[in-house]
Structure 1
Amino acid sequence: MAQVSLEQVRKVYPAAKGTQPHVAVAGATFDVADGELLVLVGPSGCGKSTLLRMIAGLESITSGTLRIGDRVVNDVAPKDRDIAMVFQNYALYPHMDVAGNLGFGLKLRGASKDEIARRVGEAAKTLELDALLARKPGALSGGQRQRVALGRALVRDPQVFLLDEPLSNLDAKLRTGMRVEIARLHRQLGATMVYVTHDQVEAMTLGQRIVVLKDGHVQQIDTPMALYERPANLFVATFLGSPAMNVLRGRVVRADGLSLDMGEGVRVPLGEGAVPEAWIDRDIAIGVRPEHLVPAPAGGVSPVVEMVEALGNETLVNLRLGAQALVARVAPHAAPSVGSAMPLALAAGQWHAFDAGSGGAVAGLGGFAAIGASPPLPSPRGGEGNS
């Protein structure tokens, strides 16, 4: 196995007539440690698959340096990079049985029959395909076909495994099972793996570290829990986590202490010292995870319950606070009825603050904030508060 290093790697597609050049990847710099499973994640069009294809040699590099081990491979052909790639589509040969599919790449490389049989046998045992070696792909389930595709890469014994959304064609149950398979395979092999997905659940459960991309730019690189608990910006905060982080937007004001003025008579108390003086009278976005919306003493105006999603092990409560939609995660039997008010608070020290303009995380913010309306503020309709 080997380390993969990228230094200011860029991919720019030439301009079509009447358009500007398209920057698919803008200066990516990071290392994949020897034996690490690193995940590239982001929405469609963020550049994650392009980045993986540059590592594989299937896309040329516009500028920057790419190393696999100690070797610069910018101009090295894909077949000479000692990598194996698993694609979204299985692309198995329908006329060959499982054994033939597993060993076909080795046969093309001139391996002996004994070597092919040995490696195919080892891969089949590792992936629990022993009993399926004589079957054709048409007689396999989706999960079994995906395991054959993994095995075809495994028999190569490459320096680096590259996996491009390999589970996206499977149903939810099979995806869960194959995530376990891939994690087990990585632990067993100690292999260097780069895994691309748009699914944040896959990223959080599989990655030892995650690279979050948006519009070709690396947003943050860290362990799953560090990204979840300490997001660098609003995009990372809202992209990772299901349901997504709640975002409260407003202006920091000093009125009966520091508060977030969300308009329409809704103010969220922030607590003294929670916001640096420099942020008073400035727009800000406060993020709070659904599990960090906690019950609060009654009083003032509270969010109104719009829908309750009972999921068995937990309950998601969809709420409305003025024009703001919120989601709270509560215990299975703790849900209120639809249409009722649900007094809530932000768990102490568990909320995040971001610059409303740039989306960057604001240092020095955090603390307790009760959600409700400040009674002295009249609503536009002349009442006290607004739900």
Structure 2
Amino acid sequence: MAAVTFDAVRKVYDNGRVAVAGASFEIASGELVVLVGPSGCGKSTLLRMIAGLEAISAGELSIAGRRVNDVAPRDRDIAMVFQSYALYPHMTVAENLSFGLRLAGAPRAEIDRRVADAARVLGLDALLARRPAELSGGQRQRVALGRALVRQPKVFLLDEPLSNLDAKLRAATRVEIARLHRQVGATMVYVTHDQVEAMTLGHRIVVMSDGVIQQIDTPLNLYARPANVFVAEFLGSPGMNLLRGQVDPDGTALVLDDGSRFVLGDAVPATAGERLVVGVRPEDLRLQALDGDASIEAVLDLAEPVGNETFLNLRFAGQALIARVPPGEVAAAGSALRLSYAPSRLHFFDAAGGGRRG
């Protein structure tokens, strides 16, 4: 295990595009950190700089306290798992698992022990004699993970390893990766654009956009206190509802562009007349009112029952809202619904810069 430290690390390509703009943070030894963000945000570039596959334009990158800016990938003691399995089709599972160790000249007994250990951890014992063509997608991904595991590296790097799997296999393999991390206690850096993977796997999450780190925190803290509008919208399924308007003269409501009022309560971190973005999570919009609730009337565009819950796609003051409600019959599309919410559960953001207030 080893810590990975970024100190003002930048990546600027020859055409002037800034892929990573001054990343500074530490991944603790034994921690599983997820890098998440939309396509092109810089997360894979950051991972590839750890691996040594991308040159660092500025700053310093350290692994286990050793500066590795100019260290060749093979000398960094890392193992990488890609979204493509990259298994040798003519080799058995056992041969694929042992290939790197055989190439390095490891003793036969050591190779057999490590392969057996990896197969046991990943449930591959019965598959060791098979070739990749005889395996399912999930089994192939487990072999790819095992090939990294047998090397016993200081750091595991996983670049969107589940993106080629269907939804059911993604969920199952996600559990296996979490279990694997608990068993081996290795330092893992995991890249994904899927915020559900990020929320369920990471000890901490690094949220990126346009090469800039937006926030680093635990999944629960990111969800409860997003640092800005981008994080609020990106994390959560569905993301946070955001309403834009002007604080009324009393400082207790948001006046939207069509004149509708959205009650904010008493503790509003803004002055009267100021533009403000107000966020409310879909689960905080309810069909049943509680004591102290405020309410709005919204028009239902579409109800999406998904079994254990229903998503209501609504329109309020010309702005789209989504409510997450318990399963059950709902009104027809086009109906007006009264939705309640607790003002204490609202989130406030700056209208200009998008940063959190309060």
TM-score by length of 2: 0.96
Match of 1:166 in 2: 161
Match of 1:117 in 2: 112
**Root mean square deviation, CA, Å:** 1.6
CA shift digits 1:341-368 (9 cap, x unpaired): 11123323111011111000112xxxxx
The CA distance in 1 between the partners of 2:127 and 2:137, in whole Å, is 13
Q: Does the Cα contact within 8 Å between 1:309 and 1:315 map onto a contact in 2?
A: yes
The CA distance in 2 between the partners of 1:267 and 1:133, in whole Å, is 65
Match of 1:369 in 2: none
CA shift digits 1:147-206 (9 cap, x unpaired): 000000000000110000000000000000000000000000111100000000000000
Match of 2:44 in 1: 49
Q: Does the Cα contact within 8 Å between 1:299 and 1:343 map onto a contact in 2?
A: no
Match of 1:82 in 2: 77
The CA distance in 1 between the partners of 2:151 and 2:169, in whole Å, is 25
Match of 1:194 in 2: 189
Match of 2:125 in 1: 130
Percent of residue pairs identical: 65
The CA distance in 2 between the partners of 1:102 and 1:139, in whole Å, is 16
3-state DSSP class of the match of 1:337?
coil
TM-fit CA distance, 1:296: 6.2
3-state DSSP class of the match of 2:47?
helix
Match of 1:267 in 2: 261
1:326 aligns with 2:318: no
Q: Does the Cα contact within 8 Å between 2:263 and 2:294 map onto a contact in 1?
A: no
CA shift digits 1:48-67 (9 cap, x unpaired): 00000000111111111111
Match of 2:284 in 1: 292
The CA distance in 1 between the partners of 2:226 and 2:329, in whole Å, is 29
Match of 2:225 in 1: 230
The CA distance in 1 between the partners of 2:175 and 2:350, in whole Å, is 38
Q: Does the Cα contact within 8 Å between 2:241 and 2:281 map onto a contact in 1?
A: yes
**Mapping 1:1-387, distance limit 5 Å:** 1-15=1-15, 21-254=16-249, 258-271=252-265, 273-276=266-269, 279-295=271-287, 302-333=297-328, 335-363=330-358
3-state DSSP class of the match of 1:152?
helix
CA shift digits 1:209-238 (9 cap, x unpaired): 000000001000000000000000000010
TM-score by length of 1: 0.89
Residue identity opposite 1:122 in structure 2 = D
The CA distance in 2 between the partners of 1:335 and 1:206, in whole Å, is 34
CA shift digits 1:107-140 (9 cap, x unpaired): 1111122221111111111111111111110010
User: May I ask how many residue pairs the two structures share in their alignment?
Assistant: 355
For structure 2, which runs of at least 5 residues remain unmatched after alignment? none
Residue identity opposite 1:275 in structure 2 = V
CA shift digits 1:24-45 (9 cap, x unpaired): 0011011111111000000000
CA shift digits 1:281-329 (9 cap, x unpaired): 1211101000011236699971011111111111111111131111111
Residue identity opposite 1:258 in structure 2 = T
3-state DSSP class of the match of 2:19?
strand
Residue identity opposite 1:76 in structure 2 = V
Residue identity opposite 2:254 in structure 1 = L
Q: Does the Cα contact within 8 Å between 1:294 and 1:347 map onto a contact in 2?
A: no
The CA distance in 2 between the partners of 1:301 and 1:229, in whole Å, is 23
The CA distance in 1 between the partners of 2:294 and 2:68, in whole Å, is 64
Q: Does the Cα contact within 8 Å between 1:306 and 1:320 map onto a contact in 2?
A: yes
Match of 1:381 in 2: none
3-state DSSP class of the match of 1:93?
coil
The CA distance in 1 between the partners of 2:341 and 2:353, in whole Å, is 23
Q: Does the Cα contact within 8 Å between 2:262 and 2:296 map onto a contact in 1?
A: no
Q: Does the Cα contact within 8 Å between 2:10 and 2:21 map onto a contact in 1?
A: yes
Give the direction of change, closer, same or farther, for the CA distance of 1:301–1:350 in structure 2 (3 Å limit): closer
For structure 1, which runs of at least 5 residues remain unmatched after alignment? 16-20, 364-387
The CA distance in 2 between the partners of 1:192 and 1:231, in whole Å, is 26
Give the direction of change, closer, same or farther, for the CA distance of 1:306–1:80 in structure 2 (3 Å limit): same
CA shift digits 1:246-303 (9 cap, x unpaired): 1111111126x632111223111223x3224x52212111010000112366999710
Residue identity opposite 2:135 in structure 1 = L
Residue identity opposite 2:209 in structure 1 = K
Q: Does the Cα contact within 8 Å between 1:162 and 1:193 map onto a contact in 2?
A: yes
